[in-house]
Amino acid sequence: MPELPEVENVRRGLTALIVGKTVQAVGTDWAKILVGGLEGFQQALTGATVTAVERRGKYLLLRFDNALTLVSHLRMEGKYQLVLDPAEPKHRFVHVWFTFSDGTQLRYHDMRKFGRMQLVPTGSEATAVAGLAKMGPEPTAETFAAPAFYRELRRHKQAVKSVILDQSVVAGVGNIYADETLWLAELNPEQPACTLTQKEAARLHDAIIAELAAATDLGGTSVHSFVDASGKRGGFQERLHVYDREGTGCDRCGTTIVKIKVGQRGTHYCPKCQPLRKRKLR
């Protein structure tokens, strides 16, 4: 958390709130968030104007008119807020702030301090940022090809859930949507990826695209602390079928949802709808 739908909604909010604003100052009380340190951010961004806010996978890309891009990864708890008065007291979890020439201030909240921001020349993100270098396709019909996905699954003997969490396979899927898409596709999260049939892989492919699109349209999922850049909670938590629903009945068959660990991640599924099928490893 946040995953692709949440980050996309943050992107949309920031686009409306900060594009066209010029940075007057950068501040922090936890410099580790700023890769390279505060001084470099101050020198590079003072006087620079935000021209666009884009997204790649779970990363935000803030474009500036000086040919630099700020790559922001929210990690577990990161969130942005625009305040109209920089003199307004900062919450104790505000660790980075960008003051604009119009008197507003963009504040970055991060309770765990796991998030990171990195400045790179615009256009170099894919090579300059480790997490973007091997990023897989975006989960859309135009960029995420079912045949290529099936070939990728055949290469992996580990659990299919672990494979779709790998950002080099498909961008943006995290723990919540991995559980949900596997439920939609009626696949066991522990099923070895290489044992999926082409039909099963196609169902999973289509479920990933549909689920992430639906979650994005509803503002993302706020099961914990997620809010968008305007402070609004998502609405997709009302449509979760298995995630965080252990002990309740499956929406499809009524069987009790169970929780296990797959690759050290809490995992929810329906034992009846998603049976583990014994097949030879390919």
What is the residue extent of each domain of the chain? 4-132, 146-269
Give the count of alpha carbons within 13 A of 109, CB side only: 17
Query: In the annotation, is 90 catalytic?
Result: no
Mean pLDDT of the 177-203 span? 97
Q: Residue 218 burial by CB count (10 A; 0-12/13-18/19+): exposed, middle or buried?
A: middle
Percentage of the chain with pLDDT > 90? 88
- Which pLDDT score, from 0 to 100, does residue 248 have? 97
Q: Do domains 4-132 and 146-269 have the same CATH topology?
A: no
Of residues 96 and 232, the one with the higher pLDDT is 96
Mean pLDDT of the 241-245 span? 94
Query: In the annotation, is 265 catalytic?
Result: yes
Query: In the annotation, is 239 catalytic?
Result: no
154, 162, 139: which is closest to 262 by C-alpha? 162
The pTM score is 0.91
Percentage of the chain with pLDDT > 70? 95
Find the catalytic residue in 11, 21, 56, 58.
58
Q: What is the mean pLDDT of the chain?
A: 94
- Which pLDDT score, from 0 to 100, does residue 231 have? 66
| For residue 114, pLDDT beyond 90 | yes
Identify the band that residue 238 occupies on the pLDDT scale cut at 50, 70 and 90: confident
Give the Cα-Cα-Cα angle 81, 83, 85 (nearest 5 degrees).
160
CATH class of 4-132: alpha beta
- Which pLDDT score, from 0 to 100, does residue 281 have? 85
185, 174, 233: which is closest to 207 by C-alpha? 185
Find the catalytic residue in 3, 8, 77, 125.
3
Name the maximum alpha-carbon separation found in the chain. Answer: 64
Query: In the annotation, is 271 catalytic?
Result: no
CA distance 43 to 56: 26
Identify the band that residue 77 occupies on the pLDDT scale cut at 50, 70 and 90: confident
- Which pLDDT score, from 0 to 100, does residue 235 have? 61
CATH topology of domain 146-269: Helicase, Ruva Protein; domain 3 (1.10.8)
- Which pLDDT score, from 0 to 100, does residue 222 have? 56
Residues contacting residue 33 through CB under 8 Å, at least 6 positions apart: 95, 96, 108, 110, 113, 115, 116, 117
Find the catalytic residue in 86, 246, 265, 271.
265
Phi-psi region of 186 (alpha: psi -120 to 50; beta: other; left: phi over 0): left
Mean pLDDT of the 73-78 span? 90
Instruction: State both tokens at 103.
Output: 């008197």
CA distance 188 to 274: 5
Identify the band that residue 280 occupies on the pLDDT scale cut at 50, 70 and 90: confident
In the beta sheet, which residues pair with residue 227?
A: none
Instruction: State both tokens at 139.
Output: 């989960």
